[in-house]
A and B are shown apart, each in its own frame.
Chain A
Amino acid sequence: MNQDISFINSWIKTNSRVLDLGCGDGTLLAALTKELNISGYGLEIDPESINQCVAKGVNVIEQDLNNSLQNFPDNSFDTVIMTQALQAMRYPHLVLDEMLRIGSQCVITFPNFGHWRARAYLTLRGRMPVTKQLAYQWYDTPNIHFFTYSDFEALCRERNITVLRKQFIAEQIPDRQLKNLWPNLFAQTAVYHLSK
């Protein structure tokens, strides 16, 4: 599901170098290039997504994020972005370390499994949540690590990662009104701006 995260434009510097891990069809990089004249590269493994990036003129590199990112030198990018993919990584904490090694700053978005709808689904139905945002059955989901807003906050504290900014996305009522008050319960998606 594509959510509007155009507010991150103000988090990214004009003319900067941006690496998008799991760039999909290149929509985000194309927008950032148009608006901020960034020098952007996306990593992707899905052939159809790669085709679409190439057709758009977005720099796309076929590379599996679960393998090493060692080919990218330390601090070789200003910002490393990962949208809605951390939960699908084999070792999310190591990927996070790599992102902060490669980039001075990171932007990460992830679905909040602590959202009340997911909680209610599990509690009342006794089944793993299948929602609009997490539209997979448990056996075929690419999302192999379920974590909440609070879990991520704890991980950042443990690893001494600085949270520069964060913003919550919620589309429905009452989530929209309550997301900032109690993000772990009402935010559907969390968007973080991090640095070392």
Chain B
Amino acid sequence: MSPNSRENSVGTVSAEQILIDKPLTLACGVVLPSHELMVETYGTLNADKSNGILICHALSGSHHAAGHYEGDEKPGWWNNYIGPGKPMDTNRFFIVSLNNIGSCFGSTGPTSINPETGEVWGANFPSLRARDWVESQKLLMEHLGIDCWAAVIGGSLGGMQAMRWALEHPDKLANSIVIASSMKLSAQNIAFNEIARRAIKSDPDFHDGNYVQHNTAPKHGLALARMIGHVTYLSDELMGQKFGRELRSGTFSQGEVTPIEFQIESYLNYQGDKFSSGFDANSYILITKMLDYFDLSREYHNDSVAAFSHAKCNFLVVSFSSDWRFSPQRSREITDALIGAGKNVSYAEIDSDQGHDAFLLPNVRYEQVLGNYLSRVADQLQDASEGAAE
């Protein structure tokens, strides 16, 4: 936990489970007659209902993006950037953060009951696409009475949703902020995801995804999947700085037989175990596939300029120098396509040694770019509502 995580914090928060009592037709053809979403909001919706920001989480994210739960010190996953006076300023914006369907923090997903069978969905939960998350978010937007988001923001898979929003509902957002993302995954990226999935499926406790029915969970497999993912989210440089070849236990002295454990081994095992006790293996498989399947321009003859020509909002694209999982080149491709389509776009390549995880971590330049961009958005909203009041 960062030492100042209580500073400029939204404070104690609580989540709400919202029933979306409208059918949602998924890209795979399956219709969810209704679904539930866990939602947190920070800040106040203005009278025009024009200051809403939608937060789109990535692979392992939840609705808990900022603040703390009662009796829990751990802040939300984007607490560095959401709060009073922070780039996503809760004094000026109404921020909506949800757990998306298919995930495992209380929204409808593989651990929910399939109403048709009365059993846990498990491995039978329908296959999902990023657009399904967008459509579910659109239903949430209607439920909240918001007609247009001031901004849709996300990193990684979250950035994919922010782009998809711009193409699917061009009149429903004023700004799309795409951080450490890509218009489609590379073969290497899909490869890492498949290794993670295979790790899960190889666990004897996986039971073809029906582990809940067997009162167990493929924790070892999921931990291994997370360890692989985690390595790819960090940079070589940062791992070197943080852990180097430091030993956690044992010694290389002659004549010693105590087992040797490097700090990095201990750290990775800890991260894997922590993750596997809080995340669902079927959700991990489902959402990594969703990442693999995403291709912004597939239905636009693989022409990204043609795809973005449907957008009407302004864009901010941000990448991080040491991110090799979603490299700056992927963000430059997004930016070039947006310029080609004649859209308003700014692009910043933030110097960072934190790898892909940089989008979650404190970084002065990243804060300034995001803060300057959003503060202008807030100023414009203020001018518009003052103009309307006169």
Contacts and interface: CB of A to CB of B under 8 A. Distances in A.
Interface of A: 17, 39, 41, 47, 50-51, 53-63, 71-73, 76
Interface in B257-303: none
A63 B348 CA distance: 9
For chain B, the bracket of interface size reads 20 to 34
Contacts of B365: 47
A51 B347 CA distance: 11
A102 to B, nearest CB: 11
Contacts of A55: 372, 375-376
A41 B372 contact: no
B369 interface: yes
B347 A76 contact: no
A77 to B, nearest CB: 9
A57 B347 contact: no
26 contacts: A39-B342, A47-B365, A51-B368, A53-B346, A54-B316, A54-B369, A54-B376, A55-B372, A55-B375, A55-B376, A56-B376, A57-B376, A58-B346, A59-B344, A59-B346, A61-B335, A61-B345, A61-B346, A62-B347, A62-B348, A63-B332, A63-B347, A71-B332, A71-B336, A72-B336, A73-B340
Interface in B338-390: 339-340, 342, 344-349, 365, 368-369, 372-373, 375-376
A55 B335 CA distance: 18
Contacts of A53: 346
Nearest to A73: B340
A82 to B, nearest CB: 17
B180 to A, nearest CB: 14
B372 A51 contact: yes
A148 B340 CA distance: 36
Given A17-B342, A50-B346, A63-B332, 6 more contacts: A53-B346, A56-B376, A59-B346, A61-B335, A61-B347, A62-B347
Given A47-B365, A51-B372, A71-B332, A60 B346 contact: yes
A56 B373 CA distance: 9
A18 B154 CA distance: 29
A50 B345 contact: no
A20 to B, nearest CB: 13
Given A55-B375, A61-B335, A71-B336, A50 B342 contact: no
A73 B336 CA distance: 10
Contacts of B369: 50-51, 54
Given A47-B365, A59-B344, A54 B339 contact: no
Most chain B C-beta atoms within 10 Å of own C-beta, residue among A61, A63, A76:
A61
Nearest to B380: A57
A56 B375 CA distance: 10
B257 to A, nearest CB: 53
A38 B332 CA distance: 23
Interface in B300-318: 316
Contacts of A58: 346
B373 A54 contact: yes
A63 B347 CA distance: 9
Nearest to B373: A54
A104 to B, nearest CB: 16
B318 to A, nearest CB: 9
